Structure 1
Amino acid sequence: MADDAAFPAATTPGILPRPDFRFAGEVGRTFQDSDAPTFPQPVQPPAGAPNIVLILLDDAGFGQFETFGGGVPSPTMDRLEREGIRFNRFHTTALCSPTRAALITGRNHHSTSFAGITEIATGYDGYACILPKSCGTIGEVLRQNGYMTAWIGKNHNTPTWETSVAGPYDRWVNGMGFDYFYGFNAGDMNHWNPILFENHDYVPMANEPGYHLTEDLADHAIDWVRKVKSIAPDKPYFLYVATGATHAPHHVPEEWIERFRGRFDEGWDAYRAQTIERQKARGVIPTDTDLTERSHGLPAWDELNDDQKRLYARMMEVFAAYGAHVDHHMGRVIDAVKALPDADNTIIIYIAGDNGSSAEGGLEGSLCENLFFNGISEHWEDNILAIDELGGPKHFNHFPSAWAHAMNTPFQWTKQVASHFGGTRNPMIISWPERITDGGGLREQFLHVIDIVPTLYEVCGVTPPTELNGVVQKPIEGRSFAAALLASDAPETRTTQYFELACNRGLYHDGWMASAPSFVPWDPNRQEWDPDKAVWELYNVDEDFSQAHDLAAEHPELLRQLQDLWWVEAAKYSVLPLDWRASQRMNAEAMGRPSLVGHRTSATYYPGMIALPDAACLPMLNKSWSITADIVVPDGDASGMIITHGGLEGGYGLYLRDGRPTFVYNFLALDRPTITADAPLAPGRTRLEVRLDYDGGGIGKGANVTMRANGTEVAAGRLERTVPVQFSLGEGLDIGMDTGSPIDFTYELPFAYTGSIEQVTVDIS
């Protein structure tokens, strides 16, 4: 067992920042009769402080990658596992933003106010999705203790209403303590046509053929770490790489997909049976682990017809390629890190998933994940028509829920279900060649994502500050497992941990797990629910690794004690009040979330306004509105986008093609009704207007659309249905071009307008 002195004692100050510099010498009337001047010296990190590389994949399950017995090749994880150690009882929160807030602060997700994603925030302490200043990040603490810091990839911890160029920027990545940021501010992102930022600046669209976001993120991580270590080789760095993979959309180059053709034809039930045997053979789970039953509501593979099997197998091939692809590119980052002079004193933490694999593709799979968040189901008969396009730029595709369940083998349930390990248990590998000597070792201590920060503070010799930037800090709620890095028999430091996400509840305590699932994640249309009538299950997870055997009937008194303890923990960590609303919380206007729009009913935009986030736009859903564009139509080629909001997964666009004004309404990629004028506009100044008159009577109803040029009607049409909850997942409004993905596929991006635009005004009723 490691002794208590295995890591240096923390010597950094408990109050940050350090006091301002003051010259300590004697000062006379002139420099000639004063002591020699001195400068404040850069902060020195603790002696021997290691570099840190933290890699976090998205929406990945325990049984997904080969390193943990899954069916997706993961040679980068394999390499790190051979030189480092695997953790098979590491837990997340069952959802992305909550896990990420906990990961970078060391506090429970409700303590950080991230009980959910920013798009469903409500105005309670645990649910506002505004990271408190009292929960300082590890990036800020390490930066003020001599580290160089960078965050590459996904940021889903900035309030949606603060992600526009109007700021404020204090809760963007740079404001959270990271010197450098390159990535996206959203829950998911189109990997072929992403909306990216470098620090605070929008990154223009890449023009190179074959562009893919994962490769781009790896390139920027490599570029940053090489630069900073060339400039300051004696300073340690903290590099946080948060990929968009393997979150939907499942976008991956075709040549990667072809590597998996036919690999999943036996289906998800066979995959689960094969995976648990591989997991036992690789030693990642106990040999007496039982495979849990297929979660309630998921179909058996043998119940499907041949066409369903063909479609769903292809969707899994795409997903497997997506996972193998991201592991490959994380390997490039690791290669770059290993080539640096101080590679042996580098801690690499590779976490495969911020939650379990995602069931948000629904029971039949999805071509447009945004349909799920709008409460609309898809049908395999429609989706099979696009089977040869899956993974490409035309779709925001996602595999069926039963495949997600299979990715979480041997556990029950999936992402969003915090009551069970299918939603919360993720693979973690840690490599540190200078200190970890039992390469390939297994660690079985029960850990939670909040335990990462205190562990890193301990091994780096950093004192968790009690005051940071003038704000008294909440205590770190995680517990260091640093001793377990050096010894497999280190004592377990976490004996109790609550779980809650969308009313799916769980409590781990002294080897037992009480679990109360509430809602299935593949149904966005949730009904009323009574927490006092919820059925609790009980598992002895010290003996039942997979939660296969419910012992609630055998131990009712123990279960009652754990239920009561859950409510104690819930009150302690701002879990209350429980909130089971689903799709309706996606509507920012209905929920009353902060908005730069306020109560305005009109907004005027000018050329150069691009990538304006949805949360900073006027709310145009379920109401009448109009667009008035003052433009100059050029002689000759008159084409290009005037205004668009959204992208391939939903929204609208107003553009000219061959001089003819065209309005397209993208109903969540299911339908794109298009209204086009019969004749081109004459060259010169033109006032182009589009009016949508909403039917009313509820959400998602139909509308009539009319188009006028200089007051004369030039086209009209009918929309039988409109988007009910949100236009898109990560794309906003553009003037004069189309950033991100196209609203339809009749033009090439960026489809810049060839004339000039004076202004565009949007008015809502």
Structure 2
Amino acid sequence: MGRTQADSDPAQFPQPIAAPEGAPNVVLLLIDDCGFGQFGTFGGGIPSPTMDKLASQGLRFNRFHTTSLCSPTRAALITGRNHHSASFAGITEIATGYDGYTCVLPKSCGTIGEVLRQNGYMTAWIGKNHNTPPWDTSLAGPFDRWANGLGFDYFYGFNAGDMHHWNPILWENRNLVPKSPDPDYHLTTDIADKAINWVHQVKSIAPQRPYFLYVATGATHAPHHASEEWISKFKGQFDEGWDKYREVTLERQKKLGVVPQDTQLTERSKGLPSWDSLNADQKRLYSRMMEVFAGYGAQCDYELGRVVDACKALPGGENTIFIYIAGDNGSSAEGGLEGSLCENLFFNGITEKWEDNIKVIDELGGPKHFNHFPASWAHAMNAPFQWTKQVASHFGGTRNPMIISWEAGIKDKGGLREQFLHTIDLVPTLYELCGITAPRELNGIPQKPIEGISFAAALQDAKAPETRKTQYFELGCNRGLYHDGWMASSPSFVPWEANRGEWDPDKAPWELYNIEEDFSQANDLADKYPEKLRQMQDMWWVEAAKYNVLPLDWRATERFNSEAMGRPSLVRGRDELTYYPGNIAVPDACSPPMLNKSWTITADIEIPEGDPVEGMVVTHGGIEGGYGLYLRAGKPVFVYNFLSLDRPTFEASEALPVGKHELVVDFKYDGGGVGKGGQVTVKANGKTIAEGRLERTVPAQFSLGEGLDVGMDVGTPIDFTYELPFLFTGKIEKVHFKLGKTDTGEPAAKEPA
């Protein structure tokens, strides 16, 4: 550089980072809660033409494994590290302070989104995000562990384990998405639309750059929501029941070649009833529940097909790697033995009765319920394996279909691959295919080694050596170990039973399988080869110590109690909190903790001249549970939704006059345990206008995905007497909460690790 530009060399701008020449686009499609025997491509009873098409153009993998639960699989999927190494031993709502269990993704486990972004890729995450700590999901942030902060340029979706598909709470990057005006709105369609729109935009603007598109549907996780148009396609198709379904599925799987011809159908898992033991009404209800689920799943595959077609039609479509994973774990048994209208009951340790659920059989799949089919149907979806989601010891919880299609890179169209693979192996495989070296340091942070192993060679050679020799499994103390063709398995807890007792890992039984000869884990060889089993058990403990699996933790519903677990919190220790109009979609984890204690809500409002005031003053939760204080025809109303089972309502007899008012809802908790009742008093300007008792209260959590709203109702309604968003037509100055001390009837616990 000289004194002026005239006597200086020509200026040069810093150039944007370019991806390696010829780097492929990557489209990663992930379905939620899906079993090995669910979709037609792998022998199931739900048609999957999108999966069929990709399989015919690419490869089917029949020994691909997940972690048996959503958040852990997703953490492994985007980092290439084992789920405990990435601190995701469970879902975010049950995190504890132990290293492998915090559900705070370490900066030392950089995501594929961030790595590809720094290597010239455009990146998007659309759909479900269950990898952000709940205490970080409010508008107060921090945002470094939202999807954008994890390396994705664009995010559209929800920050929760599941979401209502008719009235979801969604975010576009950091912005709350308004309720759709479309009367036929469905979340799966919306996710597909946004994925297509994003890829169209970025490839129009920057056609020379490759993209990484991660689409994670809410389907087929509960709630099982589908239109009657989709449900009716399956009328009568499941009337023969779950036992017959498993038999027929295995026959189809053998014909398709996705299982060996000598594969045996495993026994029905312990505790599940036979179809023949049911009465006629149970069969009618459970068949309908399966029809709803089938419609839900079929629509999901259809919508993903729209995404695939859009990506293929773009220039460079032939150089696009499509990875379609049918499940982040096996099919879910969280509907319990009798099915569910409100999945949140399971997480509060409460069971349902089919006699109650059959009363609304024609409403299943619609917006009024958070429905889930019975555990026996989940077991059938996982055919030919034992067990279900949450059971990491057996393939019913961990083996999921995977398809990889790449027109420019795979020659063996329609081929089958049988190498033993794990979710963590995808990241290093994609790095190799994209010509990228995993960084030793990312954003100034030294990185943990990638624990997955690339299987890129298997894309070209069906006989490529198996790169994964050993893999541990653990989820909720259900344990397993794969090593050189053998699988040791120790199922410890039944997923459809929320309440668990004490457990001794040294007394828990183990099973042993030679899965080179026994594809489905049908023949337990523990008694025949005790020394081999002992070797596998010892190896499991070594792997557990290596990857932050210890200490083992078998607590269940109690881990949902954030206060008891000592998780980071924006509200813990605050006995008074104030909110203002515009505070909406405050996540459950950041909302006032009002369970198992006395509390008082005070709302300062003003009634203007004119028509009677209507609308929501304050609400927490939705159709799954919670409360709401609102005005209807000018009259104050307080509703307590006990997990959709009943909704005690306390309504004033007269409308409030014009002017300012202090509305108070006071609850005096009986105490002496969790979920107890108490006295409700509603006052206006110091005068009692309604009162009564709650005979029971929510013990563990109001909602799975909805929190606090002031001045309107975002998400689902607390009851069905009003239309969303139920904007308050008066004026709200503020809403104040005063909280008592938690009373669970137990001595104060030590601060947990």
TM-score (norm. length: structure 2)? 0.98
Contact 2:629 2:639 in 1 (8 A): yes
The answer to whether structure 1 residue 343 and structure 2 residue 338 are counterparts is no
1:83-482 superposed matches below 5 A: 83-482=57-456
Aligned residue number for residue 571 of structure 1: 545
1:476-491 superposed matches below 5 A: 476-491=450-465
1:523-602 superposed matches below 5 A: 523-602=497-576
Instruction: Name which of 54, 62, 69 aligns with 2:36.
Output: 62
The answer to whether structure 1 residue 743 and structure 2 residue 718 are counterparts is yes
- Measured after TM superposition, the shift of residue 200 of structure 1 is 0.7
Distance 1:143 1:112 in 2: 20
Distance 1:292 1:424 in 2: 15
Aligned residue number for residue 680 of structure 2: 705
- Measured after TM superposition, the shift of residue 254 of structure 1 is 1.1
- Secondary structure of 1:627 counterpart: strand
Aligned residue number for residue 730 of structure 1: 705
Aligned residue number for residue 512 of structure 1: 486
Distance 1:731 1:207 in 2: 20
How many pairs does the alignment contain? 739
- Secondary structure of 2:660 counterpart: strand
Distance 1:634 1:359 in 2: 51
- Secondary structure of 2:506 counterpart: helix
Distance 1:300 1:763 in 2: 51
- The one-letter amino acid of 1:480's match is S
- Secondary structure of 1:615 counterpart: helix
- The one-letter amino acid of 1:320's match is A
Distance 2:20 2:376 in 1: 48
- Measured after TM superposition, the shift of residue 99 of structure 1 is 0.1
- Secondary structure of 2:139 counterpart: coil
- Secondary structure of 1:228 counterpart: helix
- Measured after TM superposition, the shift of residue 393 of structure 1 is 0.2
Instruction: Name which of 650, 665, 685 aligns with 1:690.
Output: 665
Contact 2:289 2:364 in 1 (8 A): yes
- Measured after TM superposition, the shift of residue 34 of structure 1 is 2.1
- Secondary structure of 2:252 counterpart: helix
Instruction: Name which of 644, 648, 651 aligns with 1:676.
Output: 651
- Measured after TM superposition, the shift of residue 130 of structure 1 is 0.2
Distance 2:252 2:713 in 1: 47
Distance 2:491 2:454 in 1: 29
Contact 2:563 2:572 in 1 (8 A): no
Instruction: Name which of 722, 735, 741 aligns with 1:760.
Output: 735
Residue by residue over 1:438-468, the C-alpha shift from the partner in whole angstroms, topping out at 9 and shown as x without a partner, is 1110000000000000000001110000000
- Measured after TM superposition, the shift of residue 207 of structure 1 is 1.4
Residue by residue over 1:413-438, the C-alpha shift from the partner in whole angstroms, topping out at 9 and shown as x without a partner, is 00000000000000000000001111
- Measured after TM superposition, the shift of residue 637 of structure 1 is 2.6
Residue by residue over 1:274-319, the C-alpha shift from the partner in whole angstroms, topping out at 9 and shown as x without a partner, is 0000000011000000000000000000000000000000000000
Distance 1:263 1:48 in 2: 47
Distance 1:706 1:570 in 2: 52
- Measured after TM superposition, the shift of residue 334 of structure 1 is 0.6
- Measured after TM superposition, the shift of residue 28 of structure 1 is 2.2
1:4-19 superposed matches below 5 A: none
Distance 2:186 2:706 in 1: 17
Distance 1:468 1:313 in 2: 51
Distance 1:405 1:583 in 2: 22
Contact 2:663 2:683 in 1 (8 A): yes
- Secondary structure of 1:533 counterpart: coil
Distance 1:362 1:374 in 2: 12
Distance 2:173 2:585 in 1: 15
- Measured after TM superposition, the shift of residue 328 of structure 1 is 0.3
- Secondary structure of 2:429 counterpart: helix
The answer to whether structure 1 residue 720 and structure 2 residue 692 are counterparts is no
Aligned residue number for residue 12 of structure 1: none
Distance 1:655 1:435 in 2: 59
- Measured after TM superposition, the shift of residue 30 of structure 1 is 2.5
Aligned residue number for residue 75 of structure 1: 49
- Measured after TM superposition, the shift of residue 486 of structure 1 is 1.0
Distance 2:53 2:667 in 1: 57
Aligned residue number for residue 10 of structure 1: none
- Measured after TM superposition, the shift of residue 36 of structure 1 is 1.6
- Secondary structure of 2:480 counterpart: strand
Residue by residue over 1:722-758, the C-alpha shift from the partner in whole angstroms, topping out at 9 and shown as x without a partner, is 0000000000000000000000000000000011101
CA RMSD of aligned residues (A): 0.5
- Secondary structure of 1:642 counterpart: strand
- Secondary structure of 1:745 counterpart: coil
- Measured after TM superposition, the shift of residue 508 of structure 1 is 0.2
Aligned residue number for residue 618 of structure 1: 592
Distance 1:718 1:208 in 2: 39
Aligned residue number for residue 743 of structure 2: none
- The one-letter amino acid of 1:739's match is V
- Secondary structure of 1:259 counterpart: helix
- Measured after TM superposition, the shift of residue 762 of structure 1 is 1.1
Residue by residue over 1:361-413, the C-alpha shift from the partner in whole angstroms, topping out at 9 and shown as x without a partner, is 00000000000000000000000001000000000000000000000000000
The answer to whether structure 1 residue 497 and structure 2 residue 471 are counterparts is yes
- The one-letter amino acid of 1:483's match is A
- The one-letter amino acid of 1:423's match is G
Distance 1:698 1:207 in 2: 44
- Measured after TM superposition, the shift of residue 33 of structure 1 is 2.5
- The one-letter amino acid of 1:716's match is E
- The one-letter amino acid of 2:315's match is P
| Residue ranges of structure 1 left out of the alignment (5+ in a row) | 1-26
- Measured after TM superposition, the shift of residue 487 of structure 1 is 1.2
Distance 2:509 2:482 in 1: 17
Distance 1:396 1:211 in 2: 17
Q: Percent identity at matched positions? A: 75
Distance 2:348 2:485 in 1: 40
TM-score (norm. length: structure 1)? 0.96
- The one-letter amino acid of 2:733's match is E
Distance 1:313 1:633 in 2: 51
- Secondary structure of 2:100 counterpart: coil
Distance 2:564 2:637 in 1: 31
- Measured after TM superposition, the shift of residue 263 of structure 1 is 0.5
- Measured after TM superposition, the shift of residue 617 of structure 1 is 1.3
- Measured after TM superposition, the shift of residue 638 of structure 1 is 0.8
The answer to whether structure 1 residue 637 and structure 2 residue 612 are counterparts is yes
- The one-letter amino acid of 1:607's match is P
Contact 2:105 2:131 in 1 (8 A): yes
